[in-house]
Amino acid sequence: MPIILETKQITKRFGELAAVNNLSFDVNEKEIFGIAGPNGAGKTTLFNVISGIYSGSGEIDYFGERIDRLRPFQVCLKGIARTFQIPTVFSTLTVYDNIRIGAHFGNHSLNEKKIINDVLEFIGLTEKQHIEAKHLPLFDKKLTMLGAALATEPKLILLDEPIGGLSPKEINESVELFKRINNELGITIIVIEHLMKVLMAISQRMMIIHNGEKICIGSPEEVARDKQVIEVYLGAEYA
């Protein structure tokens, strides 16, 4: 599998604190790559650096091309979309117009309407397309945010704790959706998730970070056996 994303020694500091510290890893095309780590480990900051919201040091290559100096909208136009840990939607706009933002600004395709309708269909919100986003329940907000990202027709999507706060039923639906995004749409996924069981079930490979540093990377089985991971993250129950 060719490499879609390669980070080389990226670091992001907030004053004294190195929220992301000298982090290097590769993501293969078409895989689901899981990221886990304790609260405050630097996972969200990593996404913010990749997507251009923060600028850090180090190098980020996307299909071999440097993207670490690009602004967020340029990163998006390259084909990298993302969702946010705290679900954000354009609250005064309808679901349709939320998706339209991605389809219009993040996508050079001329067939905006078809993309929006396809996305609505895919995330199952066709019926609710005329509702103002601020009136949506949490799950639908998350779907809308995901839909807007999908409407940019990305090759790589970054999902930041996408199932946090959801019911078991909604979690199952989400996981199915992520698998379809990966299988049917052929989109590479990097997903941050707290629930190790879910993450291990969907990831081909995963990385554990702690204090901004990589402590382990590999298949779910390898990660689950790693001594350091058990120590700092998984705790006694896995030992």
Ligand X SMILES: Nc1ncnc2c1ncn2[C@@H]1O[C@H](COP(=O)(O)OP(=O)(O)O)[C@@H](O)[C@H]1O
What is the binding site for ligand X (CB under 6 A)?
Answer: 14, 17, 19, 37, 39-45
From ligand X, other proteins, Mg ion, none, interface partner of 40 (C-beta below 5 to 8 A by class)? ligand X
Contact between 126 and Mg ion by CB under 5 A: the answer reads no
Contact between 51 and Mg ion by CB under 5 A: the answer reads no
Nearest 10 degrees: CA dihedral of 48, 72, 177, 191?
-20
From Mg ion, ligand X, other proteins, none, interface partner of 215 (C-beta below 5 to 8 A by class)? none
Report the residue from 5, 19, 20, 75 that binds other proteins according to the rule CB under 8 A: 75
Contact between 102 and other proteins by CB under 8 A: the answer reads yes
**Inter-CA distances, 115 with 43, 71, 111, 146, 150, Å:** 31, 24, 6, 14, 9
Mask for 72-111, x = binds Mg ion (CB under 5 A)? -------------x--------------------------
- Output 40 or 186, the one with its CB closest to ligand X: 40
Three-class secondary structure assignment of 145-197: HHHHHHCCCCCEEEEECCCCCCCHHHHHHHHHHHHHHHHCCCCEEEEECCCHH
The whole-angstrom separation of Cα 126 and Cα 144 is 11
